[in-house]
Amino acid sequence: MPSRSASAKVLVVSLVSVTMLLSLCLGGLSPIGEGDEAPGFTVLDVDDVPHNLTDYRGRVLVVDFFATWCGPCYVQLDTLKDLRDEVPEDQVAFLLIDNDDRESQEKVTKYRNDNKITWPVAYGGGKVGQDYEVDAIPTTVVIDQDGVIQYYHVGTTSKADLKEAIQDLL
């Protein structure tokens, strides 16, 4: 029977080995952010029109992750609506993605209609939210013409900050 100290050494060596192996395997995982290639996605808007990230190549894309029950998301929506009128529509696209998969297409359609949103509003975007590491809403992401994230903000943002991020890309 091995001694108690020999068993402890084997346990320590095993734990150190497992820790090193995990750190090697997970070392490539880092939070998504500015300068990273935007993860590809396909979502359906409330009119059942598919939207792919690649559809927006050559244009700046402002993606806002929201939920219909989110109070701060209404504040962010007002900012986006104000900004939409100030940027060139042929160069900048907007896309809202409902990050709460429990919300029905009908509920998200009502949100779009009640708030008079004139750009695509997608539902069932929880998987996209996971890919973009959305932990809180609203989260706003600005993706450049080449599919690279240039702005990533959690929470409400000022129109001036968001406009600057967009203007820097035009």
pLDDT in tens, 54-81: 999 999 999 999 999 999 999 999 999 9
Distance CA 158, CA 160 (A): 5
Query: Strand order in 121-123's β-sheet?
Result: 50-52, 42-45, 121-123, 92-98, 60-66, 139-143, 149-154
Q: Is residue 24 pLDDT above 70, yes or no?
A: no
Pairing mode, if any, of strands 149-154 and 92-98?
A: unpaired
Whether residue 21 is found in the same domain as residue 49: no
Whether residue 13 is found in the same domain as residue 85: no
Whether residue 10 is found in the same domain as residue 92: no
Q: Is residue 14 pLDDT above 90, yes or no?
A: no
Whether residue 19 is found in the same domain as residue 94: no
What total number of domains does the chain contain?
Answer: 2
Cβ pair 51, 61 in contact under 8 A: no
Residue 35 within any structural domain of the chain: no
On whether the pTM is more than 0.85, the answer is: no
Residue 134 within any structural domain of the chain: yes
Cβ pair 38, 148 in contact under 8 A: yes
Q: Is residue 37 pLDDT above 80, yes or no?
A: yes
pLDDT of 4 reads 65
Q: Is residue 126 pLDDT above 50, yes or no?
A: yes
Whether residue 23 is found in the same domain as residue 54: no
Whether residue 163 is found in the same domain as residue 110: yes
Interval 13-26 mean pLDDT: 42
| Domain region containing 15 | 1-30
Query: How does residue 6 score in pLDDT terms, banded at 50, 70 and 90?
Result: low
